[in-house]
Amino acid sequence: MANIEMKKSLKTIGVYTKNFRLYHKLVSSLKNKHFAYVSLNSLQHIPNQIGVILTSHNEIHDIKRKKVIAADVYDSIEEAIDKAFHMLIGKDLYHHIHFGIDPGEKPGIAIVGDDILLNTKQASSPEQVLKIIKRFLIDYPAHEYLIRIGHGSILLRNRIINSLIPLNIPIEIVNESKTSSHQTQRIGRDVKAAASIALLHGGKVQRKFPLKPTRGEIRRIQEESRKISNGAFSISEHTAILVLKGEISLLQAVEDENKNN
């Protein structure tokens, strides 16, 4: 689909940087995504078909064009290229942006703008979701935003919701059992489920949720801590609750407990 859109735009991506390492990262990623591009050796004569230029933050002010991206300020080269592509097809402002979140230890996140799937990402933790959403808010300007999150993994879901409430963006909890990937294996399906969640209607979140781990969740974390310590000990119930609330990582909890023993 990306290549089709590229041809319709009659424009292509330009790559200009004297940063050898950044250049090869950009070119490698563009090739992996099958995106057309032109390497620019000079800024004196930029071809008319160049719609957006990828460069470094040190060189961005040398380029006298509106559509230019400093690729090395993004969390990843892939994010910078995705941004360049959407600038290329001329969509600078969306009417509606819907964020879909599939909650879990490593939540899946999808962004849908005006019914077009724009980007997906998998967070490394529930707390990283906020950082990713903030990045998307910068990269994809819109008149209206809406966050939709799956109803499963209640404690993790509530941690994510509570972190997002300060953004003052409407949040809905969606019945994720309606997503086509709900019955598939967890690994690899998070971002697909997130894309489906973004398109479903749900109940509005009115306030922050209490974080109350169940006895089963506490025991599970204690069992995991025993495995990490090679059977030497389990973390206390109090510490397990802190882990489940996201106030400390499990690895850090085990290390602290080991120091105190």
Q: What is the pLDDT of residue 2?
A: 37
Q: Which residues of 149-181 are buried (b: 16+ CB within 10 A; e: fewer)?
A: bbebbebbbbbbbbbbeeeeeebbbbebeebeb
Note the pLDDT of residue 137: 92
Superfamily of domain 94-204: YqgF/RNase H-like domain (3.30.420.140)
What is the structure's pLDDT at 48?
A: 86
Task: Give me the residue spans of the domains in the chain.
Answer: 2-88, 94-204, 215-260
Q: What is the pLDDT of residue 260?
A: 74
In this predicted structure, what is the pLDDT of residue 9? 42
For each of the chain's 261 residues, which pLDDT tens digit applies?
333 333 344 688 999 999 999 999 999 999 887 788 999 998 988 888 899 999 999 999 999 887 899 999 988 898 899 888 878 877 778 899 999 999 998 999 999 988 888 888 889 899 999 999 998 898 888 999 999 999 988 889 999 999 999 999 999 999 977 655 444 444 446 788 899 999 999 999 988 888 888 888 899 999 988 898 888 888 889 999 999 988 888 888 888 877 776
- Distance of CA 217 to CAs 90, 159, 176, 238, 240, Å? 48, 14, 21, 12, 9
- Residue 3 confidence (pLDDT): 36
CATH superfamily for 2-88 is Response regulator (3.40.50.2300)
Burial label for 42, CB within 10 Å (0-12, 13-18, 19+), is: exposed
Residue in the structure block whose two tokens are 């290229």 = 81
Look up residue 259 and give its two tokens. Answer: 């120091």
**Integer Cα distance of 86 and 108 in angstroms:** 21
Which amino acid would we find at residue 133? I
Reported pTM: 0.67
| 94: its two tokens | 């969306």
- Please tell me the predicted confidence (pLDDT) of residue 212: 86
Q: Is-contact 66 80, C-beta < 8 A? A: no
In the chain, DSSP finds a helix count (H) and a strand count (E) of: 9, 10
Quick check: 71 and 82 in contact, CB under 8 A? no
Q: Is 200 exposed, middle or buried (0-12, 13-18, 19+ CB in 10 A)?
A: middle
Decide: helix, strand or coil at residue 143.
strand
pLDDT for res 8: 41
pLDDT the model gives residue 210: 84
What pLDDT, on a 0 to 100 scale, did the predictor assign at position 102?
95
